[in-house]
Amino acid sequence: MISAGDFRNGITIEFEGNVYQIIEFQHVKPGKGAAFVRTKLKNIINGGVVEKTFRPTEKCPQARIDRKDMQYLYSDGDLFHFMDTETYDQIALNEDAVGDTLKFVKENEMVKICSYNGNVFAIEPPLFVELEITDTEPGFKGDTATGATKPAIVETGAKVMVPLFVEQGEVIKIDTRSGEYLSRV
């Protein structure tokens, strides 16, 4: 159990039958009345954000989230297969659990599988990936002063906006959180 006075960003709690992660918290001490803790909570299962206030003495059970490194093997149809590299256990997740988190992940790369009580709710890809550009328009010489971008398709099939000087066949570095081009490799 964790009291509301000990809330910090990133802590996961069980509250009203759901599992929430604390995004923001603020201890408020008004001039009149008792102090309270104002929080912004994100439901880790469906992604919804709610705001709640707690008395500093209220207690909530802390939720245990398991994060396990697993290797993404392959997809067949709407199933995505992952393997634990220590025990060689394999799991298959459907498209609903995966969403679009694997759009920058190649086969045989490591990802983090997040689960609560054995139920997988999220997949965290690596923060940065290096992918080869399979299709883009050719750039024009001297067209770099504007900072303009053009669409490019990478080897996983995802679309990324890249600077005009980047050519087909080059390997680029991408931030998977925002989907932005970072640099050439």
Report the 10 Å Cβ neighbour count for 4. Answer: 21
**Sequence-ordered alpha helix ranges (H) in 25-118:** 95-98
Do residues 113 and 151 share a domain?
A: no
pTM summary value: 0.69
Same domain, yes or no: 14 and 56: yes
Range of the domain at 35: 2-60
Q: What is the pLDDT of residues 18-64, one digit of tens each?
A: 888 888 999 988 888 888 999 999 888 777 899 999 988 889 898 88
Query: Residue 6 is part of a domain; what is its CATH number?
Result: 2.30.30.30
| Overall domain count for the chain | 3
CATH code of the domain covering residue 178 = 2.40.50.140
Residues 140 and 114 in one domain: no
Percent share of the chain, pLDDT over 70 = 96
**47 with 34, same domain?**
yes
Q: pLDDT tens, 150-167?
A: 889 988 888 988 888 888
CA–CA separation, 8 and 26 (whole Å): 9
Say whether both 48 and 80 belong to one domain: no
End-to-end CA distance of the chain: 47
